[in-house]
Amino acid sequence: MLHGFTNGETAVYDRYPHLDRAVLQCIHALSVPVRLGIPSIARTQTLNWSIQHSLCSLECAFLLNHWLQVIAQGIESSGIQTIRDDERKLLNMFLRIVREADLMVPSDCADGDANAVRRLAASTVRLWAETFKGFHVFEISHVVEESLAIVAGILDAQLGSSAW
């Protein structure tokens, strides 16, 4: 699982509008715990979560990470002008959520800094990991949390920074 997050080979190859809708749903799925408070959600709601919830959250983390990596590759290879308006809106929406969670993102992703987008990807994985820090009935939730935390650390190390 870790290799799929960090190997640099992304599973999202094409940036089409149908993918934007999936990314939007993942952003909304993360915005709820951020707005309600991740520590509070991790302490209270995780008892009600099922294995399906853990796997869906893992899938959202995976999709957002890879989508952000592809966006960063596009910016790096062809410049910020290759990012569609809808993608730019999604980036800004997600950046607001990360800022609301009190994660430090030094530069705005819309400025054309591919590394800022990569830092945003690492922050994404770290945020998803934080939602799993509570008590869980199913052991897979702990495995997901630990795995996501390791992936975030690897992504930070690849950038030579630490988001938290």
> What string of pLDDT tens digits covers the 164 residues of the chain?
555 555 555 455 577 888 999 999 999 999 988 888 888 877 776 566 677 777 888 899 999 999 999 999 999 998 888 899 999 999 999 889 988 887 655 555 556 688 889 988 888 888 888 887 776 677 777 788 888 889 888 988 888 754 44
- Kindly report the pTM of this predicted structure: 0.80
Predicted confidence at residue 8, as pLDDT, reads 52
Of how many residues is the chain composed? 164
Tokens representing 159 are 């950038």
Q: Residue 53 is encoded by which pair of tokens?
A: 């919830």
Torsion angle defined by CA atoms of residues 59, 65, 69 and 75, in that order, rounded to the nearest 10 degrees: 110
Torsion of CA 66, 150, 38, 100, to 10 degrees: -50
Owner of token pair 């959600």:
41
pLDDT for 164? 45
Encoded tokens for 67: 């989508």
Instruction: Map out the domains of the chain as residue ranges.
Output: 2-159
C-beta of residue 153 within 8 angstroms of C-beta of residue 129 = no
Find where tokens 């869980």 sit. Answer: 136
CA-to-CA distance for 128 and 17, rounded, in angstroms? 24
